[in-house]
Structure 1
Amino acid sequence: MKTWTNPRFNDRHLADRLEAEVRDLRDRLRYETGRERADTLDDIEKLEHQLSRMHC
């Protein structure tokens, strides 16, 4: 038997996880330099772009 899962509920949890990941990456920026910092900034940009496309 398949149970119905509210897709908005799942999106909201995904958005919460992505926002938490962005916060963690921003905290890590304080300790990074050079290429590490650039890679982390790229990761943050990708996550924020994904979040902006979500409708939660």
Structure 2
Amino acid sequence: MNKQMNPRLFVRVLKLNAKARVDLLEFLGTTRIDEDELERLISDLQNGADIETAAGGLRTS
């Protein structure tokens, strides 16, 4: 992400378990992603998906 993350989404990221949080933040550091896609990605991670599965098929900017 090249811009600041929406504070509401950032709080959701912080609530992820440590592994999912680290994986997601590393992914976001290398990929531009729309907020809608980030919402879906966070939800998938909260439901137990790993980052590779959750990020599959993302529409990135």
The two structures have a TM-score, normalised by structure 1, of 0.32
Greater fraction of residues in helix: 1
Q: More relative contact order in 1 or in 2 (CA 8 Å, sep 6+)?
A: 1
